[in-house]
Structure 1
Amino acid sequence: MSAPQTAGTRVPALPSPPDDAPGRRPRGRRARPGGGTEPRPRRRTRRSRWFTPWLYLLAPLTLLVVFTYLPVADMISYSFTDWDGISPTRNFVGLDNYTDLFTRPQLFQVFWVSLFYLAGSVVQIAAALYFATILSFNTRLRNLFKGILFFPYLINGVAIGFVFLYFFQPGGTLDSILKAFGVGPHLWLGDPHLVNTSLAGVSVWRFMGLNMVLFLGAIQSIPPQLYEAAALDGASRWQQFRYVIAPSIRPIISLSVILAISGSLSVFEIPFIMTGGSNNSETFVIQTIKLAFNFNKTGLASAAAVVLLAIVLLVTWLQRLLFPDERVEQS
């Protein structure tokens, strides 16, 4: 029998078993419910959770603010002044620029011109949807036709304007083709009744390929099981388009409609190069450019740009309100 311990006597510490001893749990590990051990998860600080994504967004947000929101803010401030674009001083005039703008009959005339481009956008979307549907099936030389239809969008707008100047000139390419069918020559860019239709046709030719690529990408993302189920039910090509393709690509169609409406209101490049806005072909943007650089009325031109921005936002909001996007479930 051992002697009893006295006060002040230190009991020697027993040596700890090694980490690989039976029944010993390694340090930094926790027991699993079914036995064994697993590493302890590292604790992440709350700061690393919210701060890391903003580091990746810092560059694009900086570019967005510097090149979009700041210029828009400056444009709105200019619209309340009489600045001529050159003088370092500008006087505050309040709503005089907006009053002058809405009392001009030319303002409503240019919106009538936009209707031609809006009608052309309808034709453009319909043609793009048709070609995208045809080329999504097993069609011979479909890759070649994809490149041919998309190629006009890759050409510079200035080059397209000069090419179609020769195409529409009297006795040019179009008149030579129509002469073979017994149709006489016309002043396609000189007749006020034909000029906007001709220019809208050029826009359709140029931008139809872009919409086709958007529709084609959306159609190719549809699961093939839907086509197989439709084929087993005996659905024709038209029924496949109506009940499978069209509902599946509805968000892309809605996006194309918004882009078409905003684009028809802000047409600039093709009519400015081909006619300069003459013969009743002046658009809203061409009128704004002339106010700013030809008549040195930068304040009034800024007010016109603000009105155009408000109209585009209003039309987009109405379109989203009347035709809300529905979540499309593809299975």
Structure 2
Amino acid sequence: MSGSYKRQRVIILIAFLAIPLLLLGTFSYYPAAKLLYLSFTDWDGISSTVEFLGLDNYREIFSNPDLFGVFLHQIPYVLGGILQNIIAITFAVILNSRIKGRNLFRVLLFVPYIMNGVAVAFMFQYVFDTNNGSLNALLGNLGLYNLQQSWLGETSLVNFSLASVSMWRYVGYTMIIYLGALQSIPGDMYEAATIDGANRFQSFWHLTLPSLSNVIQLNMFLTLSGALAVFDLPFVLTKGGPAGASETFLLKTTETAFTFNNYGLASAMSIVLLGLTIVILLVQNLVLRRRGRD
């Protein structure tokens, strides 16, 4: 009887695991393996013949500034992401205190995140419009005519403008993560710090920030990996313009695949993007471990 029960239990476990593993292999592992294979080939996405190129696609990526060089366009997104985390921690600390209307402010800050990305892009298209945009109109009403710009038409400003939209959209989401972490810190720790004579800044610096270290690590990884994979804002607002100044690596990847039908090179670019994301995670973990030992 026990042997029959064990056999039935094994059959049930296999049956429950078979379908998820099959779906995982079909829609995750197989496409990933196929992508890796195609990154070493020359394929137009239509022909049945696939020419093996070895490492030529990767050499093309790292030697061609029009491909790998577009990562420079994403530096403003990285800077905006760092500022986004600073603002999010500030709002989280403020809204974690007992102030009137804190729930309303939490909702207002979180609403941009749940908005559709394309809708956000179209909304800011009117904000940044050179002639009729609300931003230039506001600057004009304040008498700051010298600050009026073509926010999406200047090569030196376009990426900062797009990065500011991304920061506005995700700061509420980042704040909610920090807020959850803050609420998990025991209040007794702050009471003990107050008894020891610590002021608010000292409590924040020596108690709050160390308690948030793991969450900061998570949010910084999400921020940096998101900065590498920016697509929707430049695609909708600028199409990579002006003169390719706002092209991102992911936008360049989709253009290589679907416009120029070079699926082999596009696959290699996807692998490079994945590799850079893994490198960021490893470097971040290494730096934090060293700080922890010190």
Structure 1 residues 80 and 165 mapped into 2: Cα distance closer, same or farther (>3 Å)?
A: same
CA contact (8 A) 1:222 1:248 kept: yes
**1:31-180 matched pairs, under 5 angstroms:** 61-170=21-130, 171-180=132-141
Instruction: Give yes or no for contact 2:95–2:106 (8 Å, CA) kept in 1.
Output: yes
Match of 1:196 in 2: 159
Gaps of at least 5 residues in structure 1 are 1-41
Deviations 1:247-283 (A, max 9, x none): 1121000011111111111111111111011120000
Letter in 1 for 2:139: L
Q: Greater helix percent: which structure?
A: 2
With 163-172 and 46-55 compared, the bigger mean Cα shift is at: 46-55
Matched residues in 2 for 1:73 and 1:262: separation? 22
Q: 1:253 aligns with which of 210, 216, 220?
A: 216
Question: How many angstroms does 1:81 deviate by?
Answer: 1.2
Percent of residue pairs identical: 44
Q: In the alignment, what sits opposite 1:313?
A: 278
Q: Is the 8 A contact 1:251 1:325 kept in 2?
A: no
Q: Distance in 2 between matches of 1:144 and 1:262?
A: 30
Secondary structure of the residue aligned to 1:289 is: helix
Amino acid of the structure 1 residue aligned with 2:288: F
Aligned position for 1:19: none
Distance 2:126 2:62 in 1: 37
Distance 1:163 1:52 in 2: 52
Higher relative contact order (CA 8 A, sep 6+): 2
DSSP 3-state at the match of 2:44: coil
State the partner residue of 2:206. 243
User: How much has 1:240 moved relative to structure 2?
Assistant: 1.9
SS in structure 2 of the partner of residue 321 of structure 1: helix
SS in structure 1 opposite 2:66?
helix
Query: Which runs of no fewer than 5 residues in structure 2 stay unpaired?
Result: none
Counterpart-to-counterpart distance in 2, 1:119 and 1:132: 20
Q: CA RMSD in A?
A: 2.5
**Residue 290 in structure 1 maps to residue 255 in structure 2:** yes
- Tell me the amino acid that sits aligned with residue 133 of structure 1: V
Q: Is the 8 A contact 2:68 2:249 kept in 1?
A: no
Does 288-297 or 72-81 show the bigger shift? Answer: 72-81
| 1:183 equivalent among 144, 151, 156 | 144
- Residue 312 of structure 1, CA deviation: 1.0
In structure 2, relative to structure 1, the CA distance for the partners of 1:158 and 1:46 (3 Å cut) is same
Kindly name which structure, 1 or 2, has the bigger radius of gyration based on alpha carbons.
1
Alignment TM-score, normalising by the size of structure 1: 0.80
